[in-house]
Amino acid sequence: MQQTSLSNGRVVHQSDLGRVTQVNADDLPVMKGLSIKRLTLAPGAIRAPHWHANCVELGYCLAGEALVTILGTGDFHSVFTIGAGQMFHIPSGALHCIETIGAVQAEFVIAFRHERPEDFSLQGTFGAMSNASLGNAYGLPAAAFAPIGKTTQGAYLVRREGPPAVPPDAGREAAHKFDIEAQPAMLHPSYGAARLGRAQFWPALTDIAMYSLRLTRDGMREPHWHPETAEMGYVHAGRARMTMLTPDGMTHTWDLAPGDVYFIPRAYPHHIEVLGEEDMHFLIFFDQPMPEDIGIRTIPAALAPAVMAATLGVPSGELPNLPRIVADPLIVERVNPQST
């Protein structure tokens, strides 16, 4: 299986503070180098401070408004707000938390650069240390830490007392914040658009990237493959059909609906087309900071017609008049009825 639901996926946490579902290699064994979570936070809720031991984190805000706080090495400290259509990046091992600052629920899709992310909580770390050692760290008597309970697990979501503490400059640009939906679309034919969150435009990215891909019913993501990049996609809106070929010659086709997630191993050929009348919006994550692909539209410019004809098993005179272009369009117009 290459596809499953994230909205109805394995529940990591559920309470009046929010809900967290997850798809990783335990749920989709084909996953390698990537996994994904969906996080909802009620007003006043906080994704408790934590860090990931084995991967970076890349998040996209679907709805609401939140404050992201990051503490990294070299005294690096960043606090910024994030809203719908904006993204955040968390380096591996960096302490971070996410808290709602608006009156409505905030919602995120978060990708991780590992098929099984490992978490450490701040609460669990405090619980693992003696009161005396904590006191020594802060220059306080051990008794000052007596009211803090001893647990090595830590709560996933916690409730904030009072209003959020939002710094006056929290809305500014930040190295680990990216307003992807405000970017000009790199590709924008009338039947689709692609906005690229990759190292070319967001230097903080070192081993992960994300494309925001939109297609109308008249567009199609051309058949293609990523030579050195795996692909993990989340369906934000619309319905679509994915077709993929495996090395053993098996073709897999599945229909995707909002909330679904899929995984394509590196170099596996695949394509995406819209089902129905509603426009499609995919969040597509990659395990490289600068994902590249080879689209079949560019192949006739590389191979001689006689080679193409012999390869496809037709006489040269019966080979379709394939256009010879060198620039991969990524999105093509659908001039034929929907595939069956």
| Residues near 194 by beta carbon (within 8 Å), at least 6 away in sequence | 185, 186, 187, 188, 211, 212, 213, 214, 330, 331
Q: What's residue 340's pLDDT? A: 61
pLDDT digit string, tens, across residues 218-236:
999 999 999 999 999 999 9
Q: What's residue 84's pLDDT? A: 98
Element holding 300 (H helix, E strand): helix 299-302
Q: What is the pTM of this model?
A: 0.95
Q: What's residue 326's pLDDT? A: 83
pLDDT digit string, tens, across residues 75-89:
789 999 999 999 999
Q: For residues 14 and 215, what is the distance between their CA atoms, to the nearest angstrom?
A: 33
Does 183-333 match 3-177 at the fold level?
yes
* Tokens 């010879």 -> residue: 324
The whole-number average pLDDT for the span 95-113 is: 97
Q: For residues 123 and 237, what is the distance between their CA atoms, to the nearest angstrom?
A: 36
* Other CB atoms within 10 Å distance of the CB of residue 271: 19
Q: Thinking of the domain 3-177, which architecture would CATH place it in? A: Sandwich (2.60)
Q: For residues 106 and 147, what is the distance between their CA atoms, to the nearest angstrom?
A: 31
- pLDDT grade for 1, boundaries at 50, 70 and 90: low
- pLDDT grade for 186, boundaries at 50, 70 and 90: confident
Q: For residues 183 and 233, what is the distance between their CA atoms, to the nearest angstrom?
A: 20
Q: For residues 60 and 176, what is the distance between their CA atoms, to the nearest angstrom?
A: 12
Using DSSP, state whether 127 is helix, strand or coil. Answer: helix
Beta bridge partners of 99: 46, 67
CB-CB contact of 219 with 331 (8 Å): yes
The full DSSP string for 137-182 is HHT--GGGGTTS---SS--SEEEPSSS----TTTTS--TTEE-GGG
The CATH code that applies to domain 183-333 is 2.60.120.10
* Other CB atoms within 10 Å distance of the CB of residue 137: 9
Q: For residues 178 and 197, what is the distance between their CA atoms, to the nearest angstrom?
A: 8
* Tokens 């000009």 -> residue: 184
Q: For residues 60 and 62, what is the distance between their CA atoms, to the nearest angstrom?
A: 6
In the sheet that holds 231-237, the strands lie side by side as 3-5, 260-264, 231-237, 280-286, 209-215, 192-197
* Distances from the Cα of 333 to the Cα of 113, 216, 321, 329, 337, angstroms: 33, 9, 17, 10, 11
Q: What's residue 339's pLDDT? A: 65
- For the chain, domain boundaries: 3-177, 183-333
pLDDT digit string, tens, across residues 240-277:
999 999 999 999 999 999 999 999 999 999 999 999 99
- pLDDT grade for 325, boundaries at 50, 70 and 90: confident
Residue 74 has pLDDT above 90, yes or no: no
